[in-house]
A and B are shown apart, each in its own frame.
Chain A
Amino acid sequence: MQSILKRLASLSQLIRPLALTFVGVVLLSLGVAYLTLHLYRNGAFPEALGVVLLQFIPVWGRGLLFALVGFGILGLGIWQLSGVAVIPLDAKPASGDIVLGYEQALKPPKIAVVSGGAGMLILASLGRRASSLICITPVQDPVEYYYRASSLLNFEQVVFVTPTSHPIPIEVELDDGQRFDIKHNISHDDLLAARHVAQIQLVGADTLVTRLTLDSIAKADAIVFGPGSLFESILPSLLLPEVRDAIRTSNAVKIYICSLMTEPGLTTGFGVADHIRQFATFAGFVPDYVLVNAQRIDSEVRQIYAAANQVPVFLSPEEYEETAVSSTEHETTRHVVLEGAVVYEADLASSVVQLTASLDHPGESRTVRVLRHDPEKLAAAITEILRRR
């Protein structure tokens, strides 16, 4: 009963147009009835036509019969109508709820996420919209950190898995030749702020990759890279040959969520195309889609980031490589293609007030406005991409 009511509730947007249609149909029927009655009384009908018009049944019986059949057909029509997703023509395609509501009526997708840090936790909220969400943590990170954070956030259908059975160190080489462990906290070293990573590699011998990691990639409908640090959270896992091969051979749509800001010492000076190129260089593939934030960032937030040697990563017109046209049954859309990846620009971020404290002075906390990927907006964008495929 609950499922029937739920299905019929989807018609709530149609109550007004349906009611108007119903009134119109009733009036039209009355008109036809009056005309028919007039012909009945004033015209002469062949006998065969009388049988077709059920004249052998008393008038009240005919009325009852037509009313019952009409009622049944009306019910059938409403039932069939409730199974059709209706999106108002004036709704924006990526505006979230309507598209998500439509998508939720379909089989929830299986999603694999390659990310790390806070970005992983942002995307983990997708779990309630997926049949499974396997988050592949960076090879150098302890997985329990993610479980500790997620247990506070009541995630569902989410599992965090390490690609290897033990952490593997990651070493980066900056453009000036300096080498660091990725855990060196490069982003917070002012002396390195102007640098960017030129090379990244695993330290140590080859290692086996966990089956859940490979299975989640092989069975995924979508593999999402990010949000998160390109060199700290995303690329480390892709340095494992088995992971790379699994991604390359997977039929899943590969979506990269591009960073909102450059990272000092890691991606300084990088545009969207530079970010994508790192996939080609170190992972041997480029994502199918790249999600880029198109939201205007207010000057106050921009200044805060500038003080930390960070600038927004926007899509620059100079980077446009070509425009692709894709068409589905219902629509034709144009996309920018960059380094072989379709760029999808959307409002993906929200500025939030964050309480921060330093380890040196834990009692002294301060609030700062920071820009973060918005889980709802990301979910809407990813769902929209999946819907269009």
Chain B
Amino acid sequence: MNDTLILFEDEGYRTLLPLVYSRPTFELRCGMFTLRERVAALTGEEARAICRPYLANVYGAGRWPLSLLSRSEPIMLINGRALDLDWLPDLLASPVDTIIITDVGRGPGPRPTLLGARLSPALASAVLLYLINQEIGLALTELRRFAKIRERSASMVVFPWDLVTENGGQVIRDLVLHKLRVSWPTAAEHPPQSAGIVLSNPEQIYIHPGAKIEGPLAIDARDGPVIIDAARIEPFSLIQGPTYIGPGALISSARVRGETSIGPVCRVGGEIEASIIQGYSNKHHDGFLGHSYLGEWVNIGAMTTNSDLKNTYGTIKVSVEGLGQIDSQVLKLGCFLSDHVKLGIGLHLNGGAMIGPGSNIFGVHFAPKNIPPFTWGGEIFREYRIDAMIDVTRKVMGRRKLALTSSQELMLREVFAMTRGDRAGMGEGQYQIPADDSALLHAENYAIRAFDPLEMGG
């Protein structure tokens, strides 16, 4: 029998908010995979998970995950913020009661932190409660008393921009894992049959047999591999590597520049560069998305564009929960849109913009840099009524033949409740009508269009 693989969240989830309000850290995409997918690609086993209680029914093993320790085989713990898993095979081969710690040298959490552990059920029982409560500092203190300790360097996600900066390299590293499980022909071995397809370095272009590639278009893998799952690439597209395009994605005559990951069932148009789209999101029209992260079920209206470089060529500051403005030390950085964010047409977003989950923003030229979760509006912001947001989410998911489960709905409602303080001071109830007549007309027009985000921006 194999080890029981368990992903866990540590205290570090806080610096990844608001992206992880509605998903655990191990469900953030970076490279080809989320961490859960990466573990499955490496081990061939589905990992189970311990995460914050309100997320546990959707992403974990339930609110009180007692079943995780029900087997006699060793328990393999994997930190949900881990990126590359080159240390995991060593740990799997280690004696029981071995832990790996790492010091990433950044972030406010305990250092070094627990990267992974291979434990007996008995020792795992001694730290289960700490894991459930994301008190990994306490768990580590306890494990140090009983387990053999190995220290090594490893890459971990500490701040949201790490996803963006690590994405290109991670696509390359994930390709190695991907090839362990799946054998897709390269474009050199099996070139696409459509006319007018220009391939650069076809040995590094991997195309799923079910993918539909319609020329004329260009795929350039000179700077890194291009991996195209069972997606559809429409004519006049340009795809540069390293890039991953997930199953069911539609690339609509888009320019997809390097270091980009597009998750499953996304629709992408315009120009996108060095960005991650988690999955099930639309950026179907013209407009630039650069060095950004988009969660699931995000919709971006036509001509909405983000900045990813200051005119001063200075590093970009980002607001991090609990820490305030942090200098990312990164020159090129775009926006971070959490799950279920909807943006209207023609919005401009600053570099480092951070929008919380469930927000619906429209009718404004420049969106504010930080927008709390479940915010509605543009010129005037107010709280997005959760019932209306859930209603919209049902419609949006229904268009992709998916249903919002009761667990997902409950989770969104809990996020709404726990972030209410972030929206303090915003108007509640009916839309607040500005005094100016033209502003009134302006806001009403956008409100009518934005209420059904699928109609926004065409």
- A residues near B (Cβ < 8 Å) are 132, 134, 137, 142-144, 147-148, 150-151, 155-162, 164-167, 208, 210-213
Contacts and interface: CB of A to CB of B under 8 A. Distances in A.
A211 B126 contact: yes
Contacts of B150: none
B432 interface: no
B125 A155 contact: no
Given A164-B122, A165-B122, A208 B145 contact: yes
Contacts of A159: 125, 128-129, 132
A155 to B, nearest CB: 6
Given A162-B122, A162-B126, A210-B126, A143 B66 contact: no
Interface in B88-131: 97, 120-123, 125-130
A212 B67 contact: no
A357 B130 CA distance: 39
A164 B142 CA distance: 12
Given A144-B71, A208-B146, A161 B125 contact: yes
B122 A155 contact: no
B69 A212 contact: no
B64 A143 contact: no
B121 A134 contact: no
A144 B127 contact: no
Given A166-B120, A212-B127, A212-B129, A147 B64 contact: no
A165 B120 contact: yes
A1 B203 CA distance: 64
Chain B: interface residue count, which band?
20 to 34
Contacts of B142: 210-212
A143 B69 contact: yes
Contacts of A160: 66, 69, 125
A147 B120 contact: no
Of the candidates B64, B97, B138, the one having the most CB atoms from chain A within 10 angstroms of its own CB is B64
Nearest to B67: A151
Contacts of B67: 147, 151
Given A158-B64, A165-B120, A211-B126, 16 more contacts: A134-B129, A144-B69, A147-B69, A150-B66, A151-B67, A155-B64, A159-B132, A160-B125, A161-B126, A161-B128, A161-B129, A162-B125, A165-B126, A165-B146, A166-B122, A213-B126
Contacts of B69: 143-144, 147, 160
Contacts of B122: 142-143, 162, 164-167
Contact of B64 (A137, A156, A165): A156
A230 B335 CA distance: 62
A150 B132 CA distance: 17
Contacts of B130: 212
Contacts of B138: 211
Nearest to A144: B121
Contacts of B183: none
Contacts of B329: none
B194 interface: no
B37 to A, nearest CB: 25
Of the candidates B97, B128, B132, B141, the one having the most CB atoms from chain A within 10 angstroms of its own CB is B128
B312 interface: no
Contacts of A134: 129
A166 B122 CA distance: 6
Contacts of A162: 122, 125-126
A143 B126 CA distance: 10
A49 B305 CA distance: 78
Contacts of B145: 208, 211
A164 B128 CA distance: 14
Contacts of A132: 129
Interface in B49-70: 63-64, 66-70
B72 interface: yes
